[in-house]
Structure 1
């Protein structure tokens, strides 16, 4: 069975064609995950989408709390 983190990665890849949808799904994902998973997602997102969605990633992850 897929972990929530892996499922979210799949969703983000599928919606990455649309900036607005990508940002909406990423914001939702950040709320669902535990802080350690958010850190993993952050690393993965910057590796995968850093070139095209850096502004979106910066905005979404700056709101995330890593406590």
Structure 2
């Protein structure tokens, strides 16, 4: 949890998958991941904002 300098929750979802939060996923399977669905799930605990022209996502709990 924290503050992420990303454009959207979808971009955060992609970053978290890349960082291994969802386990070790072979690259050829990442094409089948529904990042929009992960972003919707993340929206329960995260929110998006703009500060001084930058886009950020942060944990709101």
Q: TM-score, normalised by structure 2?
A: 0.31
Q: TM-score, normalised by structure 1?
A: 0.30
Pick 1 or 2: higher relative contact order, CA cutoff 8 A, min separation 6. Answer: 2
Kindly indicate which of the two structures has a greater share of residues assigned to strand. 2
- CA radius of gyration, larger in: 2
